[in-house]
Amino acid sequence: MTDAFFSDDATLSLETSAGSADVPIAGIQDIEIVPSVSIERLYTGDSIKIDSQQQHEFEVAVDIGFSKWDLSLAEEWLGGPATTSTSMTDTTDPQKYKITSTFTEVNNGETYDLEVTGITFEEMPIIAVSRGEFIQWDLSGIGEDLTNLETQTA
């Protein structure tokens, strides 16, 4: 059976060495989560068909659009793991984030839960504004793992 789900709850939190801490972020407009793998295919000289396949290099592409946030989101990114900063910290360890999200089925109230961990963002928008409009940030990153994908019966 197919179900229609409504997007009504998503949070972005930090993964730090001391555990997870919530980052105030709201007004999430868009979320796209796309797990992917690289696939190597083996062909032999005596056939045009695939002989064997192996997958490797799993990653989870994450795209988020939101319009309300706390400056600590950028300060954590600048500071690196377990640190906030008002300027870029000289560290080779990136700040990692986690996304948890719940989507509710329209008719029977089942929920669809999702969690992506180890997300890193190569870029952090600091300012991109248009006069007289709400600011919307867009983040694109790569997650290490999709750790929870399940439906909960109401």
What is the pTM (predicted TM-score) of this model? 0.81
Q: Which helix (H) or strand (E) holds 15?
A: strand 5-16
Dist CA 99 CA 116 (whole Å): 5
How much is the pLDDT for 17? 54
- pLDDT tens for the chain, 154 residues: list them: 566 766 666 666 656 555 566 665 656 778 889 999 999 999 999 999 999 999 999 999 999 888 777 777 888 888 888 788 889 999 898 888 888 777 777 777 777 788 888 999 999 888 777 888 877 888 899 999 998 888 777 6
Dist CA 77 CA 74 (whole Å): 5
Asked whether the beta carbons of 70 and 79 are under 8 A apart, the reply is no
How much is the pLDDT for 77? 87
Query: What are the helix (H) ranges across the chain?
Result: 72-79
Phi, psi of 74 (to 5 degrees): -75, -40
Tell me the one-letter amino acid at 75. Answer: E
Asked whether the beta carbons of 101 and 11 are under 8 A apart, the reply is yes
How much is the pLDDT for 27? 63
How much is the pLDDT for 51? 97
How much is the pLDDT for 11? 64
CATH topology classification for 5-152: Elongation Factor Tu (Ef-tu); domain 3 (2.40.30)
Domain range list for the chain:
5-152
